[in-house]
């Protein structure tokens, strides 16, 4: 799962080009981490209600050419079925990515993570009036955030030793939001709103629902 706005920016690929998913890599300065895997993307499905103007339903599913091999360094994050009615208000989640560490900076060479508190929909809407829907979830803490290049990265909730993907970073078309990002929440597509669509679209696949 990643954002539809990323799919739209890359697809269709130019003749001869290929798109790959890399898992298990933590350092971009090395050719590959010993346990990393690179798997070709064969197709994708954007959410049918994706709106590139409002960024609502900014979700897409990628189909890989082969299954990911699980190991002691590569394991699945679970879909949050048991938390489908949870608003996660006040919960601390973990965001991760390879994005810039400052506005206009270079992409990080190492995979980074940050813990952030979840806002209520009302709190988030106060920062971004008219832009936040029930399909979105927001995080905010002064001086901490995801940044440019982190789009598609998940926010993960740890409970009982398992990690649940509760959101995927989206980006607004608002120029003010990009310029003054440090003063605004991070906004994510709320995974619990798309569980039925994910299961239907990827029917026949195995899911971690624990």
Catalytic residues: 5, 58, 151
CA-CA distance, 193 to 84, in Å (whole number)? 8
Q: What's the rounded Cα separation, in Å, for the pair 153 and 94?
A: 10
DSSP letter assigned to residue 178: H
**CA torsion, ordered 89, 93, 96, 101, to nearest 10 deg:** 70
| Cis peptide leading into residue 12 (ω within 30°) | yes
Q: Which of 176, 172, 157 is nearest to 84 (CA)?
A: 157
User: Burial level of 200, CB count in 10 A (0-12/13-18/19+)?
Assistant: exposed
């Amino acid at each position: 799962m990643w954002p539809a706005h990323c799919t739209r920016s890359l697809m269709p690929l130019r003749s001869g080009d290929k798109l790959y998913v890399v898992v298990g890599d933590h350092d971009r300065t090395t050719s590959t981490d010993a346990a990393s895997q690179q798997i070709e993307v064969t197709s994708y499905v954007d959410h049918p209600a994706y709106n590139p103007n409002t960024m609502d339903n900014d979700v897409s599913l990628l189909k890989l050419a082969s299954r990911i091999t699980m190991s002691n360094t590569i394991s699945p994050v679970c879909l949050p079925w048991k938390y489908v009615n949870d608003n996660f208000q006040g919960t601390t989640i973990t965001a991760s990515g390879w994005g810039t560490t400052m506005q206009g900076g270079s992409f990080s060479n190492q995979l980074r993570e940050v813990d952030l508190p979840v806002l209520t929909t009302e709190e988030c809407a106060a920062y971004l009036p008219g832009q936040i829907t029930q399909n979105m979830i927001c995080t905010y803490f002064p001086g901490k955030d995801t940044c440019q290049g982190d789009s598609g990265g998940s926010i993960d909730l740890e409970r009982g030793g398992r990690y649940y993907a509760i959101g995927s970073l989206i980006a607004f078309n608002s120029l003010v939001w990009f310029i003054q990002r440090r003063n605004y929440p991070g906004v994510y597509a709320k995974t619990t709103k798309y569980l039925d669509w994910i299961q239907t679209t990827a029917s026949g696949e195995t899911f971690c629902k624990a």
